[in-house]
A and B are shown apart, each in its own frame.
Chain A
């Protein structure tokens, strides 16, 4: 059943088109997702740590212990040691993880909204509208975006919300392309024609028949976008343009760690490990989901 299930979605039997197709696709996706148990478990752990962690930590992320500067792991009850201002690294790491994940999710949501609206519009209307809209995407694709994000951060100050928007506005292009391609191929399927023949309005067709089938590739791309966004944020923070003190993110922590690494290597190791784990978990899950939804790539 593993091979046949996703194909069902595209043979377009009108009876099973609306509900069961979506489900069988998702069943397969879920099955494959849980095969990547290690990735799912570590991601769940990271997310829970990011949500609950800062509350459970005995130290505040901005509490300075002037007498405990650069103490190594386990010293004075600091599990992962302290930084140059004597702040508990574990508490800062948990907060940094929370901030990075938030940036990842929110910026991806921004890119999702723009990308789906844009892509579905272009794909659905087709013709000249499609031509013009996708040409614009082509042009935007060849802009060196990291430069524009840097320019934006320089121009409008190091604003947290702007960071979300700027990164999200950069990442929607691929989403728009995927959604457009998918919409075009869906538009021509028999089950859409059957739905049209049955007298459904275009709104209902998009909602009940196109959207559920779009969700697959979109979800895959979302799981692959989040790590990309986290990376972009860390990159900016590393250059000193991202999240500002005393708030922190994984990128800021790594940047501080790199500065003090000769004296306190743990400040670089632990944030680096958490960063790598986060990216790895997302990438594994994204790849697994992509294999589930795109049967060609198995």
Chain B
């Protein structure tokens, strides 16, 4: 197990290096600079600003300097927001994104898990049929359609909820719902398929033969085996919830990381863009590792090497 973790961490380092390199040079290739925002700067001022942020050095030196900073956990200053470090900005907006994503994920697991089990128990029955219909819809209607639709219905026509913005919990109902819907669909499907397969297996037949109660068979014997596909899905799912929030944050005007990323990319705020990309990559790597570990704990047949 420890060797497995060590190997994965060793694998993560070149991955992050590639991420940093690619995003660094892609960003610098982009036309325009972070200091041109409509106002014409005199060459002297521009030179001074460039010098202040060390951007008058050769590109290779800047790259190495940046790498050194990242190795020490320093993501540099923001180029647009004066006197703020990238870590501060990203930390604040990431908290908001993470809160949104986690709430959606918990909601999705609760609803999707229940629906999936119900559908599997009544395979080909009415509950199964309804669940299949809903999951198909959930997978085929993308968030950028559901989000404006729900806003139109619940904020525009019914007036029950606010349209957009970051404030009280009422502001978060629609964004969380929009983020959770496709996840509910996928989780229902995974749990249903897993449950159906497990319920047919020999150890469940044995448990039935022993005369255990249905409840005990389901929760104690079937469920741990049936959630395995879900566990390996959850790693990438967390990541997609965070990227999915790109659209949701745009539509609901939430000050989360996704919205920050798009704005910063358009404004050429190099350091913020790179900090965000690094954070997301690290997050994906960690989440995948965690989901592999949980998988190994739940499934005694899996041996990590």
Contacts and interface: CB of A to CB of B under 8 A. Distances in A.
Contacts of B209: none
Given A139-B15, A144-B280, A265-B152, A150 B139 contact: no
Interface stretch (B105-113, B122-130, B246-254): B246-254
A139 B285 CA distance: 10
A272 B149 contact: yes
Contacts of B142: 231, 234-235, 275, 279
B152 A143 contact: no
Interface string B11-44: 1101100110011001101110000000000000
Q: Residue among B11, B137, B144, B262 with the most chain A CB within 10 A?
A: B144
A268 B280 contact: no
B34 to A, nearest CB: 13
Contacts of A261: 148, 151-152, 156
Contacts of B265: 150-151, 154
Contact of A150 (B145, B149, B262, B281): B262
A142 B288 contact: yes
Given A155-B29, A238-B144, A265-B152, A147 B251 contact: no
Interface stretch (A4-12, A180-188, A191-199, A251-259): A251-259
B140 A276 contact: yes
Contact of A276 (B18, B23, B145): B145
Interface string B80-123: 00000000000000000000000000000000000000000000
B13 to A, nearest CB: 11
The interface centre, meaning the residue of A143, A148, A152, A268 with most chain B CB atoms within 10 A of its CB, is: A143
B48 interface: no
B298 interface: no
A282 B282 CA distance: 33
Given A139-B15, A276-B145, A280-B140, A146 B243 contact: yes
Interface string A261-284: 110010010001001100110010
Contacts of B11: 138-139
Given A235-B142, A275-B142, A283-B139, A151 B148 contact: no
Interface residues of B, number: 45
Given A235-B142, A272-B145, A147 B277 contact: yes
Name, among B137, B261, B265, the residue most crowded by chain A CB atoms within 10 Å (CB to CB): B265
Contacts of B141: 272, 275-276, 279
Nearest to A148: B22
Contacts of B144: 234-235, 238, 251, 254-255, 258
Given A143-B19, A279-B141, 13 more contacts: A142-B285, A144-B239, A144-B284, A154-B266, A155-B29, A155-B31, A234-B142, A235-B142, A235-B144, A261-B156, A262-B156, A268-B148, A272-B145
16 contacts: A142-B15, A143-B281, A144-B281, A144-B284, A147-B276, A148-B26, A150-B262, A152-B26, A155-B30, A261-B152, A272-B141, A272-B145, A272-B149, A276-B137, A279-B142, A283-B139
Interface of A: 138-139, 142-144, 146-148, 150-152, 154-155, 231, 234-235, 238-239, 251, 254-255, 257-258, 261-262, 265, 268, 272, 275-276, 279-280, 283
Closest 10 CB pairs of A and B: A258-B148, A155-B30, A280-B140, A272-B145, A144-B280, A279-B140, A238-B144, A151-B26, A139-B15, A276-B141
